Amino acid sequence: MNLLYKDINVFYTDTGKGHAIVLLHGFLENASMWNTFIPTLSKKNRVICIDLLGHGKTDCLGYIHSMELMADAVQVVLKHLRIRRSTFIGHSMGGYVALAFAEKNPDELKGLCLMNSTASADTIEKKKNRDRAIIAVKQNHKMFIRMAISNLFRPKNRVIFSEKIKQLKKEALKMPLQGIVASLEGMKIRKDREALLHFTPFKKMLIIGRKDPVLDYNSLISQTKNTTVDVVEFPDGHMSHIENESEFLHIIMHFVENI
């Protein structure tokens, strides 16, 4: 379904009834990444999947898609659906958006799961890498997409999941150049939100891939020290929903049921 927000279309799906779960995809992904999990999750819950700005069937909104701007679009969808409180599960960039939403609307969350994501801001080196990525995207965005998606997986899994990787690339190649650049710019300037892991009352979980090529394992573990955040570790890369599919579903079902 489409909703008009600031003169652009925002696409979302709404499946099932009960406790509302908001699923937010990562960079170069879209709401379809959750399709495998919706049938099980929606048996007892209301599952909302949203295409973030510049991704999937949602249009672009300017040169920089800040995490706050994306979170505002998410809030508009939830208000439209009259959902007051929900549990967020955000993959990678979707986790950054979920944190931006939580900072602004802490009373609207029952739970927050950061999946292959981080509450810290980009390091200076990471910001430089974003700038390099923006240049690469502008030179040849198709080449950038093909390389970026493969690099999210643990090396040995690039062969095991080669068909799924092909499909991910096919979906990502539909993205407009503007959407890719705007997200990179937005991720680069995002705030550090580690305080939310310490001082928010809702249930929190962090899903980590030990061999995640994108995020630093030790940094993620240090973020959860002296917090009530549940930490779940998988042995693979940045794509836990594919590399550890059945275990991932079991973990998030358990997380939702215990809220």
Question: Over the stretch 27-86, which tens digit does the pLDDT of each residue have?
Answer: 999 999 999 999 999 999 999 999 999 999 999 999 999 999 999 999 999 999 999 999
HEC per residue, the chain: CEEEECCEEEEEEEECCCEEEEEECCCCCCHHHHCCCHHHHCCCEEEEEECCCCCCCCCCCCCCCCHHHHHHHHHHHHHHCCCCCEEEEEECHHHHHHHHHHHHCHHHEEEEEEECCCCCCCCHHHHHHHHHHHHHHHHCHHHHHHHHHHCCCCCCHHHHCHHHHHHHHHHHCCCCHHHHHHHHHHHHCCCCCCHHHHHCCCEEEEEEECCCCCCCHHHHHHHCCCCCCEEEEECCCCCHHHHCHHHHHHHHHHHHHCC
What's domain 2-257's architecture?
3-Layer(aba) Sandwich (3.40)
* Per-domain boundaries in the chain: 2-257
pLDDT tens-digit series, residues 200-238: 999 999 999 999 999 999 999 999 999 999 999 999 999
At residue 251, the pLDDT reads 98
**Residue found by looking up tokens 């979170």 in the block:** 71
Confidence of residue 135 (pLDDT cuts 50, 70, 90): very high
pLDDT at residue 198, rounded to an integer: 97
At residue 258, the pLDDT reads 94
Tell me the Ramachandran region of residue 257: left when phi exceeds 0, alpha when psi lies from -120 to 50, beta otherwise.
alpha
pLDDT value, residue 153: 98
What local confidence, expressed as pLDDT, does residue 21 receive?
Answer: 98
| pLDDT at residue 147, as a whole number | 96
- What pLDDT, in 10s, does the model give residues 74-120? 999 999 999 999 999 999 999 999 999 999 999 999 999 999 999 99
- What does the pLDDT read at residue 99? 98
pTM to 2 decimal places: 0.98
**What pLDDT, on a 0 to 100 scale, did the predictor assign at position 125?**
97
Structure confidence at residue 89 (pLDDT): 98
